[in-house]
Amino acid sequence: MEAVITTGGKQYRVAPGQVIKVEKLPGATRGSVVEFVSVLVVAGDGRVCATPADLRAAKVVGEVIGERLDPKIRVVKYKRRKGYRRTRGHRQPRTSVRITGIEV
């Protein structure tokens, strides 16, 4: 069984046992259970559920594995012939979640 969920402004295609990295979930600690109720599509057993009536009760349950920072990206600003240079770095926080089940 597979599902498409929305979290952090992004969509993820998930299946039970899969580990996904999502935007940082506030209040989620290692070992806690999270529920994703914004389910767009559920597919499996030869059928597809995509109507709003079918998806109201659908949810995806996962367990938080941990939190990490993504690799650093460098942001460089430069203006030619003006002597203007700026460099900054950014590391986006992520939460790793293992999908434990899909309920319809």
pLDDT in tens, 2-57: 999 999 999 999 999 999 999 999 988 999 999 999 999 999 888 888 888 888 88
Mean pLDDT, rounded, for 68-95: 97
Residue 35, both tokens = 């529920």
CA 103, 52, 94, 17 dihedral sign is positive
Q: Is 36 exposed, middle or buried (0-12, 13-18, 19+ CB in 10 A)?
A: buried
Cα angle: 12, vertex 94, 21; to 5 degrees = 30
Q: Where are the domains of the chain?
A: 2-67+95-103
Mean pLDDT, rounded, for 81-88: 97
Confidence at residue 67, expressed as pLDDT on a 0 to 100 scale: 95
Q: Of 98 and 45, which is predicted with more confidence?
A: 98
Q: Of 79 and 48, which is predicted with more confidence?
A: 79
Confidence at residue 54, expressed as pLDDT on a 0 to 100 scale: 80
Mean pLDDT, rounded, for 74-92: 97
